[in-house]
Chains A and B, each alone.
Chain A
Amino acid sequence: MPISGLLITLEQPGNIREISAAILEICDAEIGDLEERWLPIAVDTSDSRTARDLHDQLLAIPGVGYIDVVSVAFEGDSPAAEGGSPLSKATRS
């Protein structure tokens, strides 16, 4: 269940209200103060796949130009696999 800090680069600085609303429609984000065109947010997702999906959904919001990852905390959860890939069997057979 990663908790991610993201930096959203807006295409234009003016439409923050609509973009914030669109973000909150998609997820329960903490939204920070806009600095010129850069909007910081923090999101809590169930797993890293969801985090990635959310990343793409946020990127698709009109007016969002780009998203960078600032931090990801995995604390309290295994950040990794439950099992191996088919290769595990390949080696051992």
Chain B
Amino acid sequence: MLTLERRKFLKLAALTAASSAASRRAGAAPLAANNGSSLAGLDWQKAPCRFCGTGCHVKVGIRDGKIAAIAGHENAEVNKGLLCVKGYHVGGILYGKDRLTTPQLRDANGELQDITWEEAINVIADRVMEAPEKFAFYGSGQWTIPEGYAAQTLMKAGLSNNHIEPNARLCMASAVTGFVSTYGVDEPAGCYDDLDHCDVLICWGNNPAEMHPVLFSRVMDRRSRGEKVELIDIGTRRTRTTEFADHFMNFRPQTDLAIANCIARHLVYTNTYDKRFVEKFCNFRADIEDGLDLMGRPIDFAAYKEMLDPYTIEYTSKLSGLPAEQLQHLCDLFADPKQKITSLWCMGMNQHTRATAINRLVHGIHLLSGKFGVPGNAPTSLTGQPSACGTAREVGTLCHALPGGLLVAKPDHREHCEKLWNIPAGRINPKPGYHTVEMWTRFCTPTDEGGDISTIIVQVTNPGQTLPNLKKTFQAKKNLKDKFLIVSDVYPTATTALADLVLPAALWVEKNGVFGNSERRTQQWFKLVEPPGQARPDTWMTLAIAHRLLELGHPGMKDKDGNFILAVHDEAGNEVPVWDFDHFYDINVDEALFEQYRPFTHKKHKNVAPYQELVKHTGMRWPVVQDESGEWRETKFRFSEFSDPFVEKGKEIQFYHSTTDDDRAQIWFCPYEPHPEEPDDDYPFWLCTGRVLEHWHTGTMTMRVPQLANAMPKTYCELNPEDASELGITNGDPIVISTRRGDITVPAWTNGRGRPPRGSLFVPFFDETKLINELTLDAYCPISKEPDYKKCAAKIRRA
């Protein structure tokens, strides 16, 4: 225990840090050269936060080889020295007593038995060698960039196998298809600075007050200074964000498409769209006649106008349930050239059976109104994981992608990557692999019935809890003896419960890492503490597997010159045997892999900064290019001449990866369509799933913090008190929720935080003992292949 004096000392240090933050907020010089945290006598090092995609930078205080304190990094532009409530817990996630510490192989009796790392790597390599084409790699938006790059190289450059996916398919794939089909290239043009300049902030089905609190705090800070920032919450249930909103627009699920079309119609039919912007920088596009695809077909303005015609305020009001006055207000805001509008969205728009469409439509109303390319005017998607952008999207660990925003289907992209990887021409498989739902469905299908994925390795994610329709996409594996599941994780999970081989992984600052956040910012950190037991970094695991495959004679593990495809060299050019864990830290493997990856980012102008530049900073937003003085400069606003070095002089705005090769973005028309599983007489409720404040995603880390586990130990079902009353349900009653895929029993919560409207249910997905994803729908957006976790039909009754 600490002495009283030490506690007083720490309290003083905490007050000094907070006072310094107050001074900074007030625009005065901080009280000290640092935020006071060094007073506590700890060794402080930088790292991005391990939780969400905001990308806050923290200072980690180390004492006696353990994390003793966390502070917001005062030089971090993202969070400016501040943290959200997750700061109370980020240090604790490493120290759960049930950390996995030894590789374990399931024996014939179904028991996991300790084995050595050498045995584990041999088991994996033998499985791959047996049927390389039936092997799949399932990773994460929590993979570091070097981890993702190593896995990507093993699969696509080594095994000629595109069956690699990140869990980001379940959360961000629709944002990708929205950006690509609109601008020709993925990821937001704007950045968090837009929040400092907008007059209106529209949250489209997302809840930044709880899920991205530091960003929300920036807006609240402006309000506290007396600035007017109008906050509009367009959602299907009330959240904490609603409490701060000037307008809560409670719409019927799925009708967000109609709302966006209604705004576009108003702009066009009242001639209040930004003609100059549209004529200079935009084309129009619609879905192909007989289906849906990524690029659609060109249309002209007259056709666009005609397609929008049905979406009058009256029609949209009836469809969406929004009062006409609220719709009119939205229309008027976009029609007003003086209003700077930033739109934010996350899972509410992305987990949607018409997710690509709604992403396109929100981009479209920004383009149509000219609310683009100026600080404060931006359509910006947020990510839920710390490196969904960095590792899933930029490294391209999706089954159709190559590093740097390139595609396996494009011959010139394959040729470009084959040169960079120095592998023989034709090595990269041109056919996209299986997307997430397809990959897991095939893994869970008997081999003789077409289940042609036989082995999956999972790193840094928990599909046994997060896949939709779990009985079909995950739990069916249990009865398939010839299927083999390998899981690397830090704690036991619903996924390790079915694993044949469990690998103990190092977590966060127990290893080196690089993340990429929601605003194109790449952030680096160094290993600060030792992992427990035999836990090791995922990068090492992948290198060891690849090298064992090389030893077993897999030809793909050699490049054109006969060298190991994942070789790492020291400054003298000598290969370092980093696949042997005794030598893994002889060199900074992260730096070596990141520098191998970096040239891939140039073709699509996503130039990430050199690793050593990242070491000096709390993150840099790409594209990062050297100026005439040799200094590396980041880019805040893409495609805008005043900020983006790749925009030609005099162009003002240039979409230099335009899908129509004319430097223009695409304004899409996509119609409203009913959801494939609307409530009906048998299943009269909408069921929505999501997160809660206490737990991050599946609770793998936060359930190990006892205070959080105690605060929110079990899931529940929020429902409207009037619905509850009609069904004779009172607060706390056990109720059975049923969908066409199954049922679970959970307590009812009638006065909960979200206060769903009548006819709606909300159930969090963090509870591994009550898997709500056994009930969710595995229907997905046909373009992004991202499932809809926010909507399916359900019924309830008292248990």
Contacts and interface: CB of A to CB of B under 8 A. Distances in A.
A26 interface: no
Contact of B15 (A1, A35, A41): A41
Interface stretch (B220-228, B338-346, B612-620, B661-669): B220-228
Contact of B25 (A7, A48, A52): A7
Contacts of B72: 68-71
B23 A70 contact: no
The CB with the most chain A CB atoms within 10 A, among B11, B703, B710, is that of B11
Contacts of A3: 7, 10-11, 14
A32 B6 contact: no
The CB with the most chain B CB atoms within 10 A, among A6, A83, A91, is that of A91
B609 to A, nearest CB: 28
B89 A91 contact: no
A88 B17 contact: no
A42 interface: yes
A84 B94 CA distance: 12
Interface string B19-33: 101110110100000
A25 interface: no
B686 to A, nearest CB: 29
Contact of B63 (A6, A65, A75): A75
B82 A70 contact: yes
B85 A69 contact: yes
Contacts of B710: 49
B85 A70 contact: no
Given A85-B768, A87-B492, A88-B492, A79 B95 contact: yes
A35 B502 contact: no
Given A68-B82, A71-B71, A75-B63, A42 B91 contact: no
Interface string B713-726: 00000000000000
Interface string A27-68: 000101111111111111001111110010000000001101
B95 A78 contact: yes
A3 B214 CA distance: 20
Given A9-B224, A80-B92, A91-B502, A32 B19 contact: yes
A77 B560 CA distance: 54
Contacts of B225: 37
Contacts of A88: 98, 491-492
B7 A35 contact: no
A93 B69 CA distance: 36
A77 B502 CA distance: 30
Interface residues of A, number: 59
Contacts of B768: 85-87, 90
A62 to B, nearest CB: 14
Contact of A68 (B42, B217, B491): B217
A33 B94 contact: no
A84 B22 contact: no
A83 B492 contact: no
Contacts of B704: 80-81, 84-85
B497 to A, nearest CB: 4
B769 interface: yes
Given A76-B6, A90-B768, A92-B492, A44 B11 contact: yes
B496 interface: yes
A45 to B, nearest CB: 9
Given A9-B224, A47-B707, A32 B40 contact: no
B2 A76 contact: yes
Interface string B94-119: 11111000000000000110000000
Contact of A80 (B28, B93, B217): B93
A35 B26 contact: yes
Contact of B22 (A40, A44, A47, A52): A40
B26 to A, nearest CB: 4
Contacts of A23: none
Contact of B14 (A10, A49, A73, A87): A73
A30 B453 CA distance: 59
A66 B707 CA distance: 23
Contact of B11 (A9, A39, A42, A47): A42
A74 B22 contact: no
A17 to B, nearest CB: 17
Contacts of B131: none
A86 B16 CA distance: 41
B224 A30 contact: no
Size category, B interface: 35 or more
Contact of B94 (A32, A36, A80, A87): A80
A53 B604 CA distance: 47
B220 A9 contact: yes
B52 interface: no
B35 interface: yes
A84 B98 contact: yes
Contacts of A77: 1-2
A72 B91 contact: yes
Interface string B46-83: 00000000000000010100011111100000000111
Contacts of A76: 1-2, 6, 68
A21 B213 CA distance: 27
Contacts of B67: 74, 79
B22 A49 contact: no
B202 to A, nearest CB: 20
Contact of A75 (B10, B15, B93, B707): B10
B497 A91 contact: yes
The CB with the most chain B CB atoms within 10 A, among A4, A71, A80, A87, is that of A71
A60 to B, nearest CB: 11
A14 to B, nearest CB: 13
Contact of B492 (A68, A73, A91): A91
Contact of B703 (A40, A65, A74, A85): A85
B496 A70 contact: no
Contact of A41 (B18, B28, B96, B711): B18
B585 interface: no
B783 interface: no
Given A5-B17, A9-B221, A38-B26, A72 B97 contact: no
Contacts of A42: 11-12, 14-15, 18
A5 B71 CA distance: 9
Interface string B492-527: 111011010010000000000000000000000000
A87 B462 CA distance: 12
B705 interface: yes
B96 A70 contact: no
The 8 closest A-B pairs by CB, nearest first: A84-B98, A49-B707, A80-B95, A40-B18, A91-B492, A5-B14, A76-B2, A71-B71
29 contacts: A3-B10, A4-B14, A4-B88, A5-B18, A5-B71, A7-B21, A7-B82, A42-B18, A52-B85, A52-B708, A68-B21, A69-B87, A71-B36, A71-B69, A72-B91, A73-B61, A75-B10, A78-B95, A80-B94, A80-B96, A84-B96, A85-B491, A86-B769, A88-B98, A88-B491, A88-B492, A90-B768, A91-B497, A91-B502
Interface of A: 1-7, 9-11, 30, 32-44, 47-52, 55, 65-66, 68-93
Given A7-B21, A75-B68, 7 more contacts: A30-B12, A32-B18, A42-B15, A70-B71, A70-B83, A72-B70, A86-B769
